[in-house]
Amino acid sequence: MMFRIVLAVFGVIELLFPRQVIDFMMGVTTTAETTYEFKSWVYKLARLEGLVFVLAAFWWGKNRAESS
């Protein structure tokens, strides 16, 4: 259950704030001091990923409730 909550919360954050999430992740994963410019579709894809995370969390919860 905890994994579903974390997945849903991260999905909502990525859905609402894709630019900040991507900028944070790039800061964590890279060591160079250079700046990156992303194409506009990168942020749209991040929103889609957030939506998929939210839907997966709800779908997973629904299936677990129906099988009990």
Query: Helix %, strand %, coil % for the chain, to 5?
Result: 80, 0, 20
| Mean pLDDT, range 49-68, rounded to an integer | 80
For position 67, what pLDDT does the model report? Answer: 57
Residue-wise pLDDT for 1-55, tens only, equals 788 999 999 999 999 999 999 989 888 888 877 777 889 899 999 999 999 999 9
Amino acid at 34: T
Q: Per residue in 28-64, is it b (16+ CB within 10 Å) or e — as a string?
A: eeeeeeeeeeeeeeeeeebbebbeebbeebeeeeeee
The per-residue pLDDT for 65 is: 59
Write down the pTM of the prediction: 0.78
Q: What are the structural domain ranges in the chain?
A: 2-30+38-67
